[in-house]
Structure 1
Amino acid sequence: MSVYTRVEAAEVVAFLRDYAVGELLELHGIADGIENTNYFVTTSGGRFVLTLFERQADSELEYFLELMVVLADHGLACPRPIMADDGTYLRHLAQRPTVLVERLAGRAIEHPSVAQCAAVGGALGRIHRIGRHVHRRRANERGPAWWRFTADALRAVLDAEAMALIDTEIAFQTALDTERLPRGVIHADLFRDNVLFEGEQLSGVIDFYAACNDILLYDVAICLNDWCIGADGDFDDARARAFLAAYAESRPWASGETDALPAMLRAAALRFWLSRLYDLHFPRAGEITHIKDPAHFERILRRRIAEPQRAQAILPV
């Protein structure tokens, strides 16, 4: 989350007239994240998050809104979109598609415990299971075609060693046969800053605006590469096993998934290394923005390539 499009309190007051949420009391920009413009909105009727979408069209956003409503209806702790007086969820503010959603209690945590990793694993499994009820579909716009496009854009700014690693890994991933791996709705960005906790209790999964239909195991790999590692990028075995065991309780493994985990961990590391490199070298202007360190995921990718056996070692016994 970030602020790229500035809105004034008077604009938000006018926007909220279409909702039964009361009077505006406070408005604060959110500095975390990198994709959309976000504000905390407090009214006499509650606490909300206002999101202005910087890149996506109205037709794309209907997927995210359906997903969040379906997940909330099935009991997952996630922000429910607020319906406007005309029965729609999607409106416009400052010439941007805009939604108002519930603001959940809790806070993101920087150093997750074993119990918290287990809670995230269980929640991800539930998302994958409940996602079967979502009728719309959305391709992963940060998939292999985007990897190749981004790699080409980065050739002018990266050194030969980095480009060789990127090209080699894209070739490796392209050659993989993933047709038999289960697919469905994935969050695609379930990092530590997108889960809220109150103590050890998971209170919310947020920021579904990268969600899409793709390989479920890829989503597992994204989480493992963030939630279950130490500063050196290696796995914390206790956290990783707790995460995977809780996930499997919510959605049991299908044939071939555990064997494919090492490759999916590499794919997840590649995707976020590329996106961070792109954001670093081709930043967008914004009032409040936060660009994350690309070298973090380069280290993880190199480690996943060098130590494929670690993926098997963290599987629950």
Structure 2
Amino acid sequence: MAVYTEVPQDEAAALLRELQLGELTALRGIQGGIENTNYFATTVLDGAETEHVLTVFERLGFEQLPYYLRLMKHLAQKGIPVPEPAANTRGEILHRLQGKPAAVVNKLAGHSELRPSVVHCEAVGAMLARMHLAGQDFAMQQPNLRGLAWWNETVPVVLPHLSDDQATLIRSELAYQNHVAAQPAFKALPHGPVHADLFRDNVMFDGDRLCGFFDFYFAGNDSWLFDLAVTLNDWCIFHGDEAADGLHDERRAHAMLASYQSVRPLTAAERQLLPAMLRAGALRFWLSRLWDWHLPREAAMLKPHDPGHFERVLRERVRQARDLADSLRDAGGVPA
């Protein structure tokens, strides 16, 4: 758990009253996540108890946050199950606590499914496609702040902390991704608002029923294919087992791709570039975990993710690029 900013209960209570959400009865830190300070806030209004999520933003500023919050409200109003930011009587959804930006959203039902089945992957694939289509007419623009430009800036910063073998891999992959990004096919990829961090712990299920996506604070405008690749790299990869950690799970990947394409079929360029984007997604999260591991910030409670997992994912994505293309063909992932 990461709590960078201790929020006094009376200050949180005043904000919740301003938002007409009732009287605060409990405030507790949320496990998971290393970017922001998050609390569950329980309120009572007209005798009914309701759960909310209170977030204090540690890296994002007042100028960046309207994009994320307005995107969530836009998607919620389009019927996508995402948390909807609470507004005060002036219609403002971005607030201030302890001198920092803050927001309050409704708490989604259900729990994270950390051992997803084919059924869970199908549900996520279809909802991700629906979300992409629902965001097409979102008017605000903001680049993916953890995209290629950030990779180029950050690789030199983490290089001193890597072994020679790791440094060779990360330099090689960064060069490859810059080459891919310069291609006309890449520039023609369908794009729009993306979640960019749709890991298993950012989706809620009640049994097999998908209750919603949350934690949009890495969102930005990017290729939809990159968003799909990031999702495949978490939901359709083996985790934890020492022998299999980081390996591709063909059955779950087929299910997610087929379900996504039942809503939004991939273009020819997307089918061609999917293996490259799977590598891009692995590089992005290996790099950010290296950053958090070697250059941590102070926090009351902080446990950064082990960067080794996404190093293994990247090595597998590079090693099996052609085999992976063959294995995904049946789901329409890439052409022969």
Shorter-chain TM-score range = over 0.9
Alpha-carbon distance between aligned partners in 2 of 1:290 and 1:125, rounded to the nearest angstrom: 32
Match of residue 251 from structure 2: 238
Alpha-carbon distance between aligned partners in 2 of 1:85 and 1:181, rounded to the nearest angstrom: 41
Contact 1:186 1:214 in 2 (8 A): yes
Match of residue 121 from structure 1: 125
The aligned amino acid for 1:303 is E
1:314, distance to aligned residue in structure 2 (A): 2.4
Contact 1:31 1:289 in 2 (8 A): no
1:251, distance to aligned residue in structure 2 (A): 1.4
One of 233, 237, 247 as aligned partner of 1:229: 237
Match of residue 42 from structure 1: 42
SS at match of 1:17: helix
SS at match of 1:213: strand
One of 304, 317, 322 as aligned partner of 1:291: 304
SS at match of 2:247: coil
SS at match of 2:238: coil
Match of residue 257 from structure 1: 270
Asked if residue 94 in structure 1 is aligned to residue 98 in structure 2, the reply is yes
Contact 1:70 1:133 in 2 (8 A): no
The aligned amino acid for 1:286 is A
The aligned amino acid for 1:221 is A
One of 140, 161, 181 as aligned partner of 2:165: 161
1:148, distance to aligned residue in structure 2 (A): 1.8
Q: How does 1:162-311 map to 2 (within 5 A)?
A: 162-176=166-180, 177=183, 178-231=186-239, 232=244, 233-308=246-321, 309-311=323-325
Mark the runs of 5 or more structure 1 residues left unpaired by the alignment: none
1:255, distance to aligned residue in structure 2 (A): 2.1
Aligned-pair Cα RMSD in Å: 1.2
SS at match of 2:79: coil
The aligned amino acid for 1:304 is R
Alpha-carbon distance between aligned partners in 2 of 1:184 and 1:81, rounded to the nearest angstrom: 21
Contact 1:258 1:312 in 2 (8 A): no
Q: Name the TM-score, length of structure 1 as normaliser.
A: 0.97
1:120, distance to aligned residue in structure 2 (A): 0.5
1:286, distance to aligned residue in structure 2 (A): 0.8
1:2, distance to aligned residue in structure 2 (A): 3.1
Alpha-carbon distance between aligned partners in 2 of 1:285 and 1:216, rounded to the nearest angstrom: 34
Contact 1:105 1:196 in 2 (8 A): yes
Q: Name the TM-score, length of structure 2 as normaliser.
A: 0.92
Match of residue 328 from structure 2: 314
Alpha-carbon distance between aligned partners in 2 of 1:240 and 1:234, rounded to the nearest angstrom: 12
Mark the runs of 5 or more structure 2 residues left unpaired by the alignment: none
1:312, distance to aligned residue in structure 2 (A): 3.7
1:230, distance to aligned residue in structure 2 (A): 1.8
Match of residue 24 from structure 1: 24
Asked if residue 73 in structure 1 is aligned to residue 87 in structure 2, the reply is no
- 1:227-269 residue CA offsets vs partner (Å, 9 max, x unmatched): 0112322222221111111111221111211111110000000
Alpha-carbon distance between aligned partners in 1 of 2:261 and 2:303, rounded to the nearest angstrom: 34
Alpha-carbon distance between aligned partners in 2 of 1:86 and 1:270, rounded to the nearest angstrom: 42
SS at match of 2:4: coil
Alpha-carbon distance between aligned partners in 2 of 1:214 and 1:62, rounded to the nearest angstrom: 17
1:24, distance to aligned residue in structure 2 (A): 0.4
> Kindly, what percent of the aligned residue pairs are identical?
46
Q: How many residues align?
A: 317
Q: Which structure carries more relative contact order (alpha carbon 8 Å, separation 6+)?
A: 1
